[in-house]
Structure 1
Amino acid sequence: MDTVGSGIKKMYQIQSKRFFPLPDYDLTRERVGVKFTGKVLDQEYAKQLATVDNLTLHDIIALDKVQKGQAITEEEADALRKKSLIEGRKNSYIIAANVAKHTEQQAEYMQMRGLDDMHYQSLIIEYLKTFERGRLADFDKMLANKLPQVLDDKQRKNKVRNLFQEMRRDGFVTSKNQTWYLANS
C-alpha cells in the first residue's frame, strides 16, 4: 500500500500503459474501495488510444468512463470532444466514429449512436400502412430495440413522441383519441 498518496495515480498509469481497463475507485464511507473490470478492452482500441499524442491521464480516465457508460464532467467532455474522441449529448456520450472505425467497432458504434430520424419515421409509416392505426405504446415497443442504446426508457419514450410531433407538423400523421393514423387515410 502506498503511503505517500500517489498509489491511485500510479495504478491508472500502469493500467493505461498495459492497455487494461482502468480501475473504478469508491472513496466513500471513509475507506477506499477499488473495482477492476474483468472485461479486457479490445487490443486495437487500446492501441488506437495510445497513438493519440496529446492524451493526458485525465483524458484516458474520462474516455474509460465513457466506454463503461459512466458519467463524465463537462470539462472532461469538452477535452475529449476537442480531440474528436467522443460524440453525443450530456449523459449520453459515445466513442467517436473515427475511433470506432480505427478499432473496427463500427457495428457497436451504430448501435450506440442510433439511426437518423428519417429511418424511424419510415418504420412508423410502414407500421401505419400495414395496421392502419397505432397507439404510442405500440410504437414505443416497436422502436425500443432500434433506438440508441444510450437512451434510457424515459428518453426513448420522449424520442418517439418527438418523432410523432415532427411527423404531424410535416403532415404525415394525425391523431384522434390517442390513436395515430396516416394523414391521408
Structure 2
Amino acid sequence: MIGLLKTNDTLSLWDCISLDAVQKGRTIHEDIAQDLLKRGLIEDEVPHYSISLSIAKNTHQLPSYTKTKGLDKEKLRQMILQFLQNAGDEGAKRDSIYEYLKDVLPANKTEEQQLRYVGRLLVELNEEKLIDRIGLKWILTDNNRSV
C-alpha cells in the first residue's frame, strides 16, 4: 500500500496504513472506515470491509480482490441451478450445495455467513419458482428441468 502513496498524491500515509489494515482483515476505527467508504477506497459492511476495486487495480491485487468478493450473485444462482440439474430427482441438501460453491463465495465471510448466504439464494430461487424444497433437499421445479 505504501507504493500507492507514490502514485496517488490524494492519499495520506494514514490512509495507506488504514487500507493495509483493511486488506489484512484488521479492525479499523469506524470514523476512519466511514471516511474511506465515502471516498470509495473500501467496500462492504462493518466489520468485514475490503479494499475497493479501484485500489485493487492500482495495487495490482485484482486476483485477491476477486477471491475476497467471490462470484457475483447471478453467477452463483446459475451454479446452483446447474448443480441441481446434475443432481436430478435426488436433489441436494444445502450443505452439499455449499460444498460445491464454497471456493467461489466471498472469502472475507465466515463459514456461517457463507452458509446463510447460500440459504438466502436457495430461498430466492424457491420464491421465483425455479426450485422446490422437499424435506431438507432442493430440486429443480418440473418446468425448470432443462436449465
Name the structure 2 match of 1:137.
95
Instruction: Work out the CA distance in 2 between the residues paired with 1:97 and 1:128.
Output: 32
TM-score using structure 2 length: 0.87
Aligned residues: 141
Instruction: Work out the CA distance in 2 between the residues paired with 1:100 and 1:162.
Output: 28
TM-score using structure 1 length: 0.70
Secondary structure of 1:174's counterpart equals strand
Confirm or deny that 1:115 pairs with 2:71: yes
Confirm or deny that 1:173 pairs with 2:127: no
The one-letter amino acid of 2:94's match is L
The one-letter amino acid of 1:118's match is E
Unmatched runs of 5 consecutive residues or more in structure 2: none
User: Which stretch shifts more, 121-130 or 48-57?
Assistant: 48-57
Unmatched runs of 5 consecutive residues or more in structure 1: 1-44
Deviation at residue 54 of structure 1 after TM alignment: 4.1
Which structure has the larger Rg over C-alpha atoms?
Answer: 1
The one-letter amino acid of 2:111's match is D
Confirm or deny that 1:96 pairs with 2:88: no
Deviation at residue 93 of structure 1 after TM alignment: 1.0
- Do the aligned partners of 2:44 and 2:50 also contact (CA within 8 Å) in 1? yes
Larger RCO of the pair (alpha carbons < 8 Å, separation 6+): 2
For residues 36-82 of structure 1, give each alpha carbon's deviation from its aligned partner in whole angstroms, at most 9, with x where no partner exists. xxxxxxxxx43223443343454333222101111223211111112
5 Å-filtered alignment, 1:121-160, equals 121-132=77-88, 133-160=91-118
Secondary structure of 2:5's counterpart equals helix
Question: What RMSD over aligned residues (CA atoms) do the two structures have, in Å?
Answer: 1.6
Deviation at residue 159 of structure 1 after TM alignment: 0.5
The one-letter amino acid of 1:48's match is L
